Each structure stands twice: as structure tokens, then as C-alpha cells.
């Protein structure tokens, strides 16, 4: 069965030319989606693999690594680490 | 022919006469001594009529306990005088007031893109679409787009590179993502949408303003626009809820007459929708 539009609630069958154009469009769409799918997968994951954590969690991971010395001692003196540390000190996590 | 002639006390007379072929009739005079009345100005007439026990006519009004039959001639009734509560049968095609329902539908096989053409932009300043759609198997996992249309009843997509758009959504857990483009050939509504009926699809509300002849500002920021809210699950059931804004940003005036919601990638259309329900309203002005 051929494709159709739904215009103002009425089904309007494709012409032969429109069918041909849509075939080409769907090939192009599939190629474009394939080229970008990895971005979507990285953002939101797939059915079997988790994507990136949210930005807050990513930054917290980075903070913990710096705090653990994995970026060297100088990283602990940087503006970002010192600023974040001062906030954590001001609002300590309950023990 | 015989007559009864009654002479006035000072002059003149009044005659009572039958028609030429009068049949055999009896005129019974009332017993209250009044046959013809007149008002205070001397005009002869009847000041009121009582029919049965429920209807009176007089003093410029008709009083009755109920009315029956066609009311086709009851026109020009001031709206302020129509009061009360209609319990049934009181309706107007499209509804009342400035927010008018133009169309609605629901089904399980829309079959293609959702298109509205030949919209009455002279009557309606804006349109509001409440919708829920499910991409078909071909469009499963593609992006949701919008294009404005021109040409009235024989509408066609406006694919020119004048769409500036962004959508922003949140996803579990506490994630956010923003996608924005300028001068593309389509407007992005939201990110990839899944096509499983039980757990995916998208629902949204869009406010759409189409440029029309007579507007003094139909270019740049005055171009046709669509904005709204869309909630969805993507192709792996991940939840997303967000907003969308699409502006047709052209230095030349283009008056649009419709719009289309479709699935695709990179502006290329793919598949269509299966399950759907929508209601399109017009806002007069």
C-alpha cells in the first residue's frame, strides 16, 4: 500500500513522484540519523547501556578525582577546585 | 337586506348590517356593556387580550407559560438578554467566543505526517494544537520536526532556510540537553521519539502564529512562529520533557497558511505516525 498525507484529517495518497522523492528522503534521513546516533546514545544511553551521567554528577566525579590527587597537587590550588571546596565547606554534608 | 340603525343622541347614527350572503348567524352581545374600547388618547382598540388562562398580550409584551413551534423569526435578541443555563441542545459549530475548535481526530493509523492546510488566517490570529502521536515503525527513533506551509488548499512545505529554532529538555536523572540552530530548512520540535505504542510516543501543546496579509511586521522577529511543550519517550523509553521555540526568520514577508508535524533526520522526512489524537483550535483576532 502506498504512502499518503493526512491533510486536514483527510488521507491524500502520494503521487508516483512523491513516492520516489520520499524513498530518497528516507535514505537520506537514515544516513543522517546514523551519523548522529552516537551522540544520542551518549546522552541518554540505549536499552542496554547507560549514557553520560548528568552534568552535576560528571563535575562531582571530576572534583572527587582532583581531591584524590589524580590530577596532581597543583590541581587542588586551581580556581575551580578552591571555589567548589569553599562552597562544600560552607554547607557541609551531614555526617 | 335589513339593517338596525342606532341614532346618536345629538346627531348621526350607527348601522349594524349583514353581508349580502350572510348565512344564518347570531351575534351575542357581551353583558358588561362594552363592545369597543379605546385608550386614553381616544384611539379605538383592545388594550389586552387574554387567551385561555396562560397567555396575555398587552402593554407591549406577551406573557405565556411556554412557547412551542419554530423560532426561526426570533432574531436580533440582545445577547445580554439570553440568560440561564442550557442543559442540552444549545450549541454552535466550533463553539462560542474567541477560542474556536477547528478540528479534532483520533485513531491508530494516521499513516503520514500531520498536516493542517488552508487555515483561515484572516479570522484566526493564532492556532493552538493539542496533540499526541506515535511514530510508525519506519520513523521510530527519528527526530520530530515542524515546517510551515504555504499555498492554501494546495499547500506545500516551506523548506527555505529561514527556520531558527531550539528545544530544551530534561531527562532522567536530572539531565538536560539543549539543541539550537539558525537558518535551517525546518524547525526542530524535540529529540528522537520512540515508536512503541505501549511506552513511547510524544504529547505536546503548540501555539502557532502564522503571518498574514495586512500585518505590518512579518519579517525577522515578526515571522511565523511555533512554541510549546512536548513530553516524550525516546526509542529506548528514556523520558524527556521540554520546551520548543521555532521562529521563521526571513527578511522578506512570507504569509503561511498551514503547518506540518513530521519525523525525520537532517530535515529529510521519514515514515509517519500510527496512533494519534489531536484537537486544533483557532484564536480569533
Partner A, chain B 242-281, Cβ-Cβ below 8 Å: 264-266, 268-272
At A67, give phi and psi (nearest 5°). -65, -30
User: What pLDDT is stored for residue B80 in this prediction?
Assistant: 86
**B282 and A38 in contact (C-beta within 8 Å)?**
no
Query: What per-residue confidence (pLDDT) applies to B168?
Result: 96
Question: In sequence order, what DSSP letters do the residues of B112-159 get, joined into one string?
Answer: S-EEE-S--TTTEEEEEEEEEEEE-TTTTT-EEEEEEEESGGG-EE--
In this structure, are residues B214 and B175 in contact, taking their beta carbons and an 8 Å threshold? no
Question: Under a CB-based contact definition with an 8 Å cutoff, are residues B227 and B204 in contact?
Answer: no
Q: Which backbone phi and psi does A38 adopt, to 5 degrees?
A: -60, -30
Tell whether the model's pLDDT for residue B285 goes beyond 80. Answer: yes
What was the pLDDT predicted at A40? 83
Contact check, Cβ <8 Å, A26/B138 = yes
DSSP A31: H
Nearest to A29 among B113, B177, B270 (CB): B270
pTM of the model: 0.76
C-alpha cell at B28: 351575542
Low-confidence residues in chain A, pLDDT < 70: 1
Q: B228-255, pLDDT tens digit by residue?
A: 999 999 988 889 999 999 999 999 999 9
**Nearest one of B28, B200, B12, B192 to A32, comparing CA atoms:** B192
A91/chain B closest Cα distance in angstroms: 21
Task: Give B120's DSSP letter.
Answer: -
Chain A residues with CB within 8 Å of chain B CB: 3-9, 11, 22, 25-26, 28-30, 32-33, 36, 40, 43-47, 52-57
Measure the CA–CA gap between A34 and B212, rounded to whole angstroms: 39
Per-residue pLDDT tens for B38-70? Answer: 656 666 666 677 788 778 887 788 888 887 888
Amino acid at each position: 500500500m502506498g504512502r499518503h498525507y493526512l491533510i486536514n484529517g483527510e488521507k491524500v495518497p502520494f503521487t508516483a513522484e512523491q513516492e520516489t522523492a520520499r524513498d530518497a528522503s528516507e535514505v537520506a534521513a537514515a544516513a543522517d540519523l546514523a551519523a548522529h546516533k552516537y551522540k544520542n546514545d551518549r546522552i541518554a544511553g540505549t536499552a542496554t547501556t547507560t549514557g553520560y551521567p548528568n552534568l552535576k554528577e560528571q563535575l562531582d566525579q571530576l572534583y572527587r578525582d582532583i581531591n584524590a590527587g589524580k590530577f596532581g597537587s597543583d590541581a587542588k590550588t586551581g580556581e575551580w577546585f578552591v571555589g567548589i571546596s569553599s562552597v562544600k565547606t560552607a554547607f557541609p554534608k551531614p555526617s | 337586506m335589513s339593517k338596525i340603525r342606532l341614532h346618536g343622541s345629538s346627531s348621526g347614527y350607527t348601522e349594524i348590517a349583514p353581508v349580502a350572503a350572510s348565512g344564518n348567524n347570531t351575534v351575542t352581545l357581551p353583558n358588561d356593556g362594552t363592545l369597543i374600547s379605546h385608550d386614553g388618547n381616544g384611539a379605538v382598540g383592545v388594550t389586552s387580550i387574554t387567551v385561555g388562562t396562560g397567555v396575555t398580550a398587552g402593554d407591549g409584551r406577551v406573557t405565556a407559560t411556554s412557547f412551542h413551534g419554530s423560532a426561526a423569526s426570533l432574531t436580533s435578541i440582545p445577547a445580554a438578554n439570553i440568560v440561564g443555563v442550557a442543559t442540552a441542545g444549545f450549541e454552535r459549530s466550533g463553539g462560542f467566543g474567541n477560542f474556536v475548535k477547528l478540528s479534532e481526530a483520533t485513531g491508530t493509523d494516521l499513516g503520514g505526517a500531520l498536516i493542517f492546510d488552508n487555515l483561515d488566517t484572516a479570522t484566526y490570529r493564532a492556532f493552538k494544537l493539542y496533540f499526541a502521536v506515535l511514530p510508525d515503525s519506519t520513523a521510530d527513533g527519528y527526530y520530530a520536526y515542524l515546517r510551515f506551509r504555504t499555498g492554501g488548499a494546495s499547500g506545500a512545505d516551506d523548506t527555505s532556510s529561514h527556520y531558527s529554532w531550539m528545544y530544551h529538555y530534561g531527562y532522567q536523572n536530572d539531565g538536560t540537553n539543549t539543541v539550537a540552530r539558525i537558518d535551517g530548512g525546518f524547525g526542530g520540535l524535540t529529540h528522537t521519539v520512540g515508536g512503541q505504542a505501549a511506552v513511547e510516543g510524544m504529547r505536546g501543546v503548540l501555539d502557532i502564529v502564522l503571518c498574514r496579509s495586512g500585518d505590518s511586521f512579518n519579517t525577522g522577529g515578526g515571522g511565523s512562529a511555533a512554541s510549546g511543550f512536548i513530553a516524550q519517550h525516546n526509542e529506548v523509553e528514556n523520558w524527556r520533557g521540554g520546551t520548543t521555540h521555532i521562529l521563521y526568520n526571513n527578511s522578506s514577508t512570507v504569509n503561511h497558511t498551514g503547518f506540518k508535524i513530521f519525523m525525520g533526520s537532517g530535515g529529510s522526512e521519514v515514515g509517519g505516525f500510527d496512533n494519534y489524537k489531536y484537537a486544533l483550535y483557532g484564536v480569533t483576532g
